């Protein structure tokens, strides 16, 4: 079961490949995420210095009074990946037109995992096609239920 999902990712990007990673978090961030607080909407992954980071992910403090004053809810968080996976992501990041976006954040055996996807940005006409396809599918389901 997903704690947080990026619903706009499949609309804005054509998903090409997926992988899973762990994250380096503070304790109060983990508590906040397990309460399904946070957002992946503006997040993406960058690779710097042989390490992968998720940038732009919002995690609010669990208890505002008990968090440190210098806490930044949009801070860069390190992803826990193997070296081969990091090299693969860095080569993908260098490719023009490809972006690494987070899809879902979920709990697996008490650990928080994040699903990452390699995506190519959709053009405006591709998004229109997606909307038309969703509308026709929705219309077909309604007609099927009515019968």
Domains of the chain by start residue, with CATH: 2-122 (2.40.280.10)
Higher pLDDT among residues 3 and 146, named by residue: 3
Cα 55 to Cα 80: distance, rounded to the nearest angstrom: 14
Q: Is the pLDDT of residue 1 over 80?
A: no
Closest CA to 89 of 35, 19, 30: 19
Pairing of the two strands 44-48 and 77-80: unpaired
Confidence of residue 76 (pLDDT cuts 50, 70, 90): very high
Q: Taking residues 61-75, what's their average pLDDT? A: 86
Summarised one tens digit per residue, pLDDT across range 42-53 is 899 999 999 999
Give the per-residue SS3 of 2-26.
Answer: EEEECCCHHHHEEEEEEEEEEECCC
Query: What number is the average pLDDT over the span 116-137?
Result: 86
Question: How many residues comprise the chain?
Answer: 147
CA pair distance 32, 1, nearest whole angstrom: 16
């Amino acid at each position: 079961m997903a704690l947080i999902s990026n619903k706009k990712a499949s609309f804005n990007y054509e998903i090409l490949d997926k992988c899973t990673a762990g994250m380096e978090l503070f304790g109060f961030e983990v508590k906040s995420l397990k309460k399904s607080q946070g957002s992946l909407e503006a997040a993406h992954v960058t690779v710097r210095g042989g390490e992968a980071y998720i940038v732009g992910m919002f995690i609010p403090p669990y208890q505002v009074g008990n968090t440190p004053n210098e806490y930044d809810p949009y801070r860069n968080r390190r992803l826990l990946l193997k070296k081969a996976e990091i090299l693969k992501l860095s080569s993908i990041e260098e490719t023009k037109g490809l972006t690494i976006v987070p899809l879902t954040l979920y709990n697996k055996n008490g650990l928080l995992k994040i699903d990452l996807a390699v995506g190519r940005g959709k053009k405006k006409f591709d998004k229109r096609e997606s909307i038309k396809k969703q509308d026709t599918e929705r219309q077909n389901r309604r007609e099927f239920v009515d019968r």
